[in-house]
Amino acid sequence: MTQPITVSLVDANPAARENCAAAINRSQAIRVASTYATGEEALRQIPANPPNIVLMDIRLPRMSGIECTARLKARCPNLGIIIFTSLNDHNSIFGALRAGAIGYLLKRTSLDMLVKSIEEAHEGGAPMSASIAQQVVRFFHPQQTESKAEALTRREQELISLLAKGRHYKEIAAALGISVDTVRSHIRRMYEKLNVHSRTEVVLKVLKNKPGSIAR
């Protein structure tokens, strides 16, 4: 039998952790391996036995989920961390992406979509809630950066526009006439552009050039 995808939950709310774990465990393909109430606890325990995917809330006591994400990625570079939160402001979204999150889902996400998003992330995708993708679209289009080589390509803009409409990877592949693997590859490169801890610093350059941005 195929081994289930292992998930760790980091959420300060006990009821939220319990309900989310129960819902995820109903899927035969995914198993919740551990849950944590604080970023400090997650940072102590997860590196010793990393799961496949971490679902990370941002609102945590003391250490925020964004800071915990950055610290976990520094210790476990290959760890897939999906932000799972009720926050949908620019500071939270781009702060999480800069910290190394590979996806951003809102807590109103349905169970089916959450399960699919975990599976997509495990396969190399970068899942986003539709409203989050819409914010990224509005932020980057028609935003100009200092280097056109670091800007989102036309194909990436088409792809993220389809994500913003809530399309799944197979639907995007059919709409663009490409394979699902190519969709995943485009999304991975797009997220690398947003992640300043990787090779590209496009977010910082865009934020510096955008009036009223969150850059300091």
Q: How far apart are CA 70 and CA 77, in angstroms?
A: 10
Residue 9: pLDDT band (50, 70, 90) is very high
Provide φ and ψ at 52, rounded to 5°: -75, -40
Domains, the chain, in order of start with CATH, read 5-209 (3.40.50.2300)
C-beta atoms surrounding 57 within 10 Å: 23
In this prediction, residue 57 carries a pLDDT of 97
Confidence of residue 140 (pLDDT cuts 50, 70, 90): low
Local confidence band at 148 (pLDDT 50, 70, 90 cut-offs): very low
Band of pLDDT at residue 131, cut at 50, 70 and 90: confident
Q: Which of 213, 43, 207, 52 is nearest to 123 (CA)?
A: 52
Alpha carbon distance 183, 74 (integer Å): 27
Q: In terms of pTM, does the model score above 0.75?
A: no
Indicate the pLDDT class of residue 200, thresholds 50, 70 and 90. very low
Confidence of residue 124 (pLDDT cuts 50, 70, 90): confident
Closest C-alpha among 183, 152, 188 to residue 168 = 183
pLDDT value, residue 142: 47
Instruction: Please say if the pLDDT value at position 208 is more than 90.
Output: no
Query: CB of 10 within 8 A of CB of 56?
Result: yes
- Kindly indicate the confidence band of residue 90, based on its pLDDT and cuts at 50, 70 and 90: confident
What is residue 85's predicted lDDT score, i.e. its pLDDT? 94
